């Protein structure tokens, strides 16, 4: 698994003033759509936004949609906390941990928002014809709660003592991959009361039985509502959750006087990725190239599968030139899964070769199947 790329991030608009995003009444109400790209030049993978403009602190949801004017359909939703643009620091960049590759070539790309602030603007960041390994695999991002303010819990009033847990979702009815949470916000002002170190525990489990999934830490810059400029808090890599897993959070800080309610929402990919795709059956190809089938060898060896009766080894399921469009798609193994009782193992290989100085990337993929005749 690699998070490297040899592709260049693109922006819409490029080398131009960001596009003004219409606002709505509140986070439950859609704004109008505004066009970012009239025609996608190829398949696109959405990375995120670079924000600008003048706005008050607010939770915002952004739908990225495709379709002609008046017929737009949302394909993915991003959510973050936008800190008052006039405060210390500025909300600038919101990147997803894995680009969402859901924009088809030729599509018209638009954005709408749900928030009650004003004069927000943005540039959209994306990759064209993504070839990188770390993309969502056609999975959209979304949030919980959605189209509603986040869930809140007040501080304990004691230095570094935990708040109560508060549940963000009782569980989604399918597997999800947790990105993180939107930045902490107090709906009536900033969440922080001064220069303050804080921690947020993300927990899973039923109320009263929460187990810490991960902990976020940070520091506010101080100054009343200022310095809480954290649009999102992302894990280093997504956390996979099984269906119907309740998710909660609690927080603590080094400031006893901070009993403000902190409000968060859960950000996630709506499945684990390509593991949810259908699992086709692999049918081995013909005898490997360079092999002349023969009968059982007589020198004590076993020979090669496909060449010799009782032979063993690996055979290319997809010979060179056959294309990888027919390659099987498998679920990832379950963590800790044993090979006991299994009849075979698939090895998929992808080699990315970059030619310098041109930077031309060539990707070679092979799928090898260990056959069960040994």
Partner 1 sequence: MSIQWLGNPVKVYPSASSPLAITPSGSVWANSAWFELLPSTPVAWVLCGLVVNPQGTVTGGESVEFEYEVGVGGSGSEVPIATTHGYSNLRTAPGEFARCPILIPVDAIPAGSRVAIRVRQSSTTTSRNYTAVIYYVEKPFSGTMQTTAKPQKCLPTAAGNLLVSASSTTAWANGSYVQFSAALPTDIVITGFTNGASGGGNFVSQCEVDVAIGGAGSEVVQFTVRFQKMENLGCPYYQPLALAVDLFPTGQRVAIRMRNGCTALLPVQNRLGLLYHEKPL
Binding positions for partner 1, 66-125, rule CB under 8 A = 83, 85-93, 95-99, 101, 123, 125
Q: Quick check: 230 binds partner 1 (CB under 8 A)?
A: yes
Judged by beta carbon, residue 30 or residue 131, the one nearer partner 1 is 131
- For residue 276, which phi and psi values (nearest 5 degrees)? -90, -5
Q: Quick check: 298 binds partner 1 (CB under 8 A)?
A: no
Q: Cβ 374 to partner 1, closest distance in Å?
A: 29
Q: Quick check: 354 binds partner 1 (CB under 8 A)?
A: yes
CA 212 → CA 70, 172, 205, 318, distances in Å?
44, 18, 9, 44
Q: Quick check: 348 binds partner 1 (CB under 8 A)?
A: no
Q: Quick check: 332 binds partner 1 (CB under 8 A)?
A: yes
Q: Quick check: 273 binds partner 1 (CB under 8 A)?
A: yes
Q: Which stretch binds partner 1 (CB under 8 A): 27-35, 47-55, 166-174, 298-306?
A: 47-55
Phi-psi region of 106 (alpha: psi -120 to 50; beta: other; left: phi over 0): left
Rounded Cα distance between 208 and 14, Å, is 50
Judged by beta carbon, residue 269 or residue 318, the one nearer partner 1 is 269
Footprint on residues 233-272 left by partner 1 (CB under 8 A): 233-240, 252, 254, 269, 272
Footprint on residues 144-183 left by partner 1 (CB under 8 A): 160, 177
Count of alpha carbons within 13 angstroms of residue 107, beta-carbon side: 24
Burial class (CB in 10 A: 0-12, 13-18, 19+), 194: middle
Q: Which stretch binds partner 1 (CB under 8 A): 7-15, 72-80, 107-115, 145-153?
A: 7-15
Angle at 209 between CA 206 and CA 211, to 5 degrees: 100
The DSSP 8-state label assigned to residue 52 in this structure reads E
Q: Quick check: 185 binds partner 1 (CB under 8 A)?
A: no
Rounded Cα distance between 140 and 256, Å, is 39
By C-alpha distance, which of 222, 242, 373, 269 is closest to 312?
A: 373
Rounded Cα distance between 338 and 107, Å, is 44
Q: Which stretch binds partner 1 (CB under 8 A): 109-117, 128-136, 287-295, 310-318?
A: 128-136
Judged by beta carbon, residue 139 or residue 315, the one nearer partner 1 is 139
Strand partners, 361: 354
Q: Cβ 107 to partner 1, closest distance in Å?
A: 20
228 neighbors 182 (Cβ within 8 angstroms): no
Q: Cβ 309 to partner 1, closest distance in Å?
A: 39
Q: Cβ 244 to partner 1, closest distance in Å?
A: 18
Judged by beta carbon, residue 240 or residue 304, the one nearer partner 1 is 240
Secondary structure class of 300 (helix, strand, coil): coil
Q: Cβ 297 to partner 1, closest distance in Å?
A: 41
Tokens of 322: 């056959």
Secondary structure class of 336 (helix, strand, coil): coil
Tokens of 70: 């008046």
Judged by beta carbon, residue 122 or residue 369, the one nearer partner 1 is 122
User: Scanning the structure block, which residue is given the tokens 């004003």?
Assistant: 118
Q: Cβ 202 to partner 1, closest distance in Å?
A: 9
Q: Cβ 48 to partner 1, closest distance in Å?
A: 7
Footprint on residues 193-222 left by partner 1 (CB under 8 A): 195, 197, 199, 212-222
Q: Quick check: 44 binds partner 1 (CB under 8 A)?
A: no
184 neighbors 191 (Cβ within 8 angstroms): yes
Judged by beta carbon, residue 78 or residue 315, the one nearer partner 1 is 78
End-to-end distance of the chain based on CA atoms, in angstroms? Answer: 31
Out of 263, 275, 308, 367, point to the residue binding partner 1 (CB under 8 A): 275
Q: Cβ 349 to partner 1, closest distance in Å?
A: 14
Q: Cβ 240 to partner 1, closest distance in Å?
A: 5
For 109-137, give the DSSP string: EEEEEE-S---EEEEEEEEES---S-S-S
């Amino acid at each position: 698994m690699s998070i490297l790329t040899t592709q260049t991030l693109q922006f819409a608009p490029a080398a131009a003033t960001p596009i003004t995003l219409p606002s709505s009444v509140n986070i439950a109400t859609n704004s109008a759509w505004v066009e970012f790209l009239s025609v996608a030049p190829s398949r696109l993978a959405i990375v995120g936004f670079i924000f600008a403009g003048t706005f008050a602190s607010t939770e915002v949801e952004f739908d990225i949609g495709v379709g002609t004017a008046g017929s737009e359909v949302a394909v993915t939703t991003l959510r973050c906390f936008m800190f008052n643009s006039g405060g210390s620091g500025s909300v600038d960049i919101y990147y997803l941990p894995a680009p969402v590759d859901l924009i088809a070539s030729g599509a018209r790309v638009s954005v709408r928002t749900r928030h009650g602030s004003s004069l927000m603007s943005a540039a959209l960041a994306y990759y064209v014809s993504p070839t990188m390994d770390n993309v969502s695999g056609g999975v959209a991002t979304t949030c919980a709660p959605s189209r509603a303010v986040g869930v809140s819990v007040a501080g304990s009033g004691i230095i570094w003592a935990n708040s109560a847990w508060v549940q963000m979702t009782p569980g989604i009815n399918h597997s999800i991959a947790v990105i993180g949470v939107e930045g902490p916000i107090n709906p009536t002002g900033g969440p922080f009361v001064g220069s303050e170190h804080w921690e947020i525990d993300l927990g899973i489990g039923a109320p009263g039985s929460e187990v810490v999934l991960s902990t976020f830490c940070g520091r506010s810059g101080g100054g009343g509502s200022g310095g809480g400029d954290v649009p999102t808090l992302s894990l280093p890599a997504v956390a996979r959750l099984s269906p119907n897993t309740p998710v909660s959070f609690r927080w603590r800080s080094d400031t006893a006087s901070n009993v403000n309610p902190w409000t968060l929402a859960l950000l996630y990919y709506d499945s684990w990725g390509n593991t949810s795709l259908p699992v086709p059956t692999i049918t081995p190809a013909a005898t490997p190239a360079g092999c002349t089938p023969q009968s059982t060898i007589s020198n004590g060896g076993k020979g090669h599968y496909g060449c010799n009766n009782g032979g063993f080894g690996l055979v290319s399921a997809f010979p060179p030139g056959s294309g990888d469009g027919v390659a099987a798609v498998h679920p990832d193994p379950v963590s800790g899964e044993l090979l006991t009782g299994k009849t075979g193992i698939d090895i998929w290989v992808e080699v990315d070769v970059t030619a310098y100085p041109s930077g031309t990337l060539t990707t070679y993929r092979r799928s090898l199947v260990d056959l069960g005749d040994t």
